[in-house]
A and B are shown apart, each in its own frame.
Chain A
Amino acid sequence: MLKSKHLIGLENFPTSDLKKIIDTSFKFKEILESPDRKAILLKGKTIVNMFFENSTRTKISFSLAEKRLGADSINFSSSTSSVKKGETLKDTIQNIDAMKIDGAVIRHGHPGSALKLTEYIDGAVINAGDGSHEHPTQAILDMVTIKEKFGKIKDLKVGIIGDILNSRVARSDIFALKKLGAEVVVCGPSTLLPSNAQKLGINVTHNIDEVLKWCDVVIGLRIQLERMHLGRIPSEREYHSEFGLTYERVSKLKKDIVIMHPGPMNRGVEIDSKIADSDNAVILDQVLNGVASRMSILYLLLGDKSEKL
């Protein structure tokens, strides 16, 4: 069904696989919006959700996607596991694998942890966020949301605002958008932008007003408040004033732009409540599309070829 066995990151992910996942997501969205909301396509498959890092929406989204597909899922979080007792990642994973599982979803604080997992596990591995490396399923649900709005992704102008340096969402979004032919501009304080941004084939600016004037879609990223304590930004006030998706800024635009945010939001810092709750915001559509996208990913990676959708 896909060329890839795993979904680790989008940088080297085949574009054809990416497109297939996106297109299939729309079918799952239809199912989710039907009264039944189920498509038992992964019956008898066992998936383990390994969350070594806190997560609310991604974890629930995966669990729900697995349930809707009729898979058996097991949840594992580091706070209640033997990781706390000092077991190494390798031992934890090999033990889980020994129990015969078909797929693993992993969220971990360290870049490369999802790739590492493929060495110890026979089934498919899905990266649900590995440090500041990639968060491919978030990018896919973002693509689905954009395509749902515009009917296409190619040639769209997308601005990504915020902490690009530390954001796995930004990285995966950039890879996905570039593969699908969109134009990307990133904007944020210089201390939160990667120094090699230009090499990624994207433009960099510190002027959010220019980005808003230019773009069709803007993705606001969560500004992690702990960055402030690491000295990378001086204050919430300055960030909000110079990089915030403020009502003042967005309302003076002479056009409609689509506003996205991966959540969780810091209302009043990177985005004003009035904007987050406005008609232009598709932040809650992103959440439902997240379930559909993850169903699509799980189905395409784990499903039997005979089980036709």
Chain B
Amino acid sequence: MINNTNTKKLLLKGGRIIDPFSKKTFVGDLLVENGVISKIADSIASRGKDFNIIDCKGLVVTHGFCDIHAHFREPGREDKENLSSGSLAAIAGGFTQVCTMPNTDPVIDSPEHIHYIASKSKNLPIDIFPIGAVSKNLEGEHLTEMMLMKNNGAIAFTDDGMSIQNPQFMKLALTYAKMVDLPILNHSEDIYLRNEGVMNASKTSSNLGLKGNTSLAEAIMVYRDLLLASSLDAKLHLLHVTTKEAVDLIKQFKSKNITSEVCPHHLYFSDEDIDNFNTNLKVGPPIRSKTDRKKLIEAVKSGVIDCIATDHAPHTLEDKETTFNDAEFGMIGLESCFGVVNKVLVKENGMSLKSLIEKLTVNPRKVMNIDRDLFEVGKKAQITIIDPNEKWTFSNQDIYSKSSNSPFLGHEIVGKVKHVVSKNKFYTL
């Protein structure tokens, strides 16, 4: 279990402090008093016994991570996850801020629904920012009340799960959201090309007799969205990019208003890993080819893709313990995120840890326009302390989500979250 104490006088001693916002890295001490960073220095003296001193030697002390793509299933499917259990899963993954997706039951498509999530999240361990739906009931026909939703705390808009198909509606949504000055997040996928595809269209899908979902379904829709957003100069964030074609297009259209994310599982697996019909690898968009995976890794390293997002998507055992065709799409991802991306990007592909931390901290906050300058004296402490070299095998005991649909179970990953400071609490894992 996660233990927590207050942060009356919490002294983090001797850690390697990485501040991705100011791009400073140094070994030093950091003092948190009553939830606020009160001092950062090479060495901070601790007089008196009321100090809670944490030896951070060999550990990295950095910003709390921010996940801009998580499904907490509340309201409607609290058996899979709720705001409270999702928050614990976030803490376990080193995340102190999470943006929640609106495809719940009912859909988060009104100011009242946004208010519900915002007010219900107030006393949870992390900051939760609700994302509102673009269209009423995710039907892709009627715009939601974006202005009133923003007034109630909506941080962005998406119909994630139901890709917006009608280009005229997408154009109006981008136009309206531009006025509201919030981004539209699209799950860019042409559903007619996707057809009944349950995995990437490939040799493996053909061998397994599973229906394939072509890369073109993503590429074509990404191109449409990029053209629309750039012609309107509107903010567009492309969710969970998976294909090499999409990466090339994003590179071509990249601007301050065009951002994108990649999920840990798309960086870690390739479609050949689905050789035993493992339903925990059934995800939308699908795990792609080795070539796509390689291209995604390059794109994160070069900055074409802005950030890592988990697409944490809890499902019950019943939803997954079935045939590949019948299984639900999605996997949980918060708890395993850092170990997975650190292993793939830093350990195996030579990315710097500092650079990876940017993709988990500053960049997602930038996409959502959340206060990014967190590592300053006087700011509310949101800190994650990690051992970047610890090898561990991801197991059921590491899961705090109500669901356990993770394909990483049994996999050895590298880099572990040790402690988290969030909302005046100090958590030890």
Interface of A with B (CB < 8 Å)? Answer: 189-191, 206, 228, 231-235, 237-238, 241-242
Give chain A nearest CB distance to B144 CB in angstroms.
6
Give chain B nearest CB distance to A293 CB in angstroms.
35
Instruction: Determine whether the beta carbon of B172 is less than 8 Å from that of A242.
Output: no
Instruction: Determine whether the beta carbon of B146 is less than 8 Å from that of A234.
Output: yes
The B139-181 residues at the A interface (CB cut-off 8 A) are 141-148, 168-169, 172, 175-176, 178-179
Residues of B contacting A190 with CB < 8 Å?
175-176, 178-179
B contacts with A, residue count (CB < 8 A) = 16
Max chain B CB contacts within 10 Å: which of A231, A232, A237? Answer: A231
Extra contacts besides A231-B141, A231-B142, A234-B144 (12): CB < 8 Å? A190-B179, A191-B175, A228-B142, A232-B143, A233-B143, A234-B136, A234-B142, A234-B176, A235-B145, A238-B145, A238-B147, A241-B147
Residue of A nearest to B168 (CB): A231
Instruction: Determine whether the beta carbon of A241 is less than 8 Å from that of B148.
Output: yes
A189 to B148, CA, bound (A): 13
Give chain A nearest CB distance to B336 CB in angstroms.
38
Total residue contacts A-B, CB cutoff 8 A: 40
Residue of A nearest to B148 (CB): A238
Residue of B nearest to A228 (CB): B142
A280 to B179, CA, bound (A): 30
A190 to B175, CA, bound (A): 6
- The residue that A237 contacts in the complex, of B142, B145, B146, B178, with Cβ under 8 A, is B145
- The residue that A191 contacts in the complex, of B142, B144, B172, with Cβ under 8 A, is B172
A191-B172, A231-B169, A237-B148 known; A206-B179 Cβ under 8 A: yes
A233 to B145, CA, bound (A): 8
A177 to B281, CA, bound (A): 64
Give chain A nearest CB distance to B154 CB in angstroms.
13
Residues of B contacting A233 with CB < 8 Å?
143
Residue of A nearest to B136 (CB): A234
Instruction: Determine whether the beta carbon of B147 is less than 8 Å from that of A242.
Output: yes
Residues of A contacting B179 with CB < 8 Å?
189-191, 206
A233 to B142, CA, bound (A): 8
A232 to B168, CA, bound (A): 10
Max chain B CB contacts within 10 Å: which of A191, A234, A238? Answer: A234
Max chain B CB contacts within 10 Å: which of A228, A232, A238? Answer: A238
A50 to B109, CA, bound (A): 46
Residues of A contacting B148 with CB < 8 Å?
237-238, 241-242
Give chain B nearest CB distance to A101 CB in angstroms.
43
Residues of A contacting B141 with CB < 8 Å?
231
A234 to B176, CA, bound (A): 10
Give chain B nearest CB distance to A252 CB in angstroms.
18
